[in-house]
Amino acid sequence: MDIVHSLLIIAVVSICTIFLRAVPFLIFGGKREVPKTVSYLGRTLPPAIMAVLVVYCLKDISLLEGNHGIPELISVLLVVILHSWKKNILLSIGLGTACYMALIQLVF
């Protein structure tokens, strides 16, 4: 293990990550007013990002092999139903996760 090189890798990854998170603030965060288009995106983009993140979490499911993504499907549905009904985020996440763990450890 090359300690200096390892530290440099960590530094590079850290700086690049910080830079990526800072980009919108570097461009639009100054004294100037934020352009209308950007504040429009700021308002409308979050639901789209969350939907993409859900797809991102489920990206490794294979519909044709293994368990066909059935545990994921059931657990996601459970979260949707629980959360539309009770609107309690801890309950939705807790039961959804417990359901998923039980399904993949015991059933599939």
- Per CB under 8 A, residues contacting other proteins are 1-2, 5-6, 8-14, 16-18, 20-25, 28-29, 34, 37-60, 71-72, 75-76, 79-80, 83-84, 87, 89-90, 92-93, 96-97, 100-101, 103-105
Q: How is residue 88 annotated by DSSP?
A: -
| Residues 96 and 68 sit within 8 Å (Cβ to Cβ) | no
Tokens of 10: 């960590």
Q: How far is the CB of 106 from other proteins (least distance, A)?
A: 10
Shortest distance, position 68 Cβ to other proteins, whole Å: 16
Q: Shortest approach of other proteins to residue 93 CB, angstroms?
A: 4
Residue whose CB is less far from other proteins, 65 or 105: 105
CA distances from 34 to 9, 38, 46, 49, 56 (A): 35, 7, 17, 20, 30
Residue type for position 104: I
CB of 58 to other proteins, least distance (A): 7
Angle at 102 between CA 91 and CA 78, to 5 degrees: 40
User: Considering beta carbons, is residue 66 or 89 the nearer one to other proteins?
Assistant: 89
Of 6 and 66, the one with the shorter C-beta distance to other proteins is 6
Which three-class secondary structure state does DSSP give residue 19?
helix
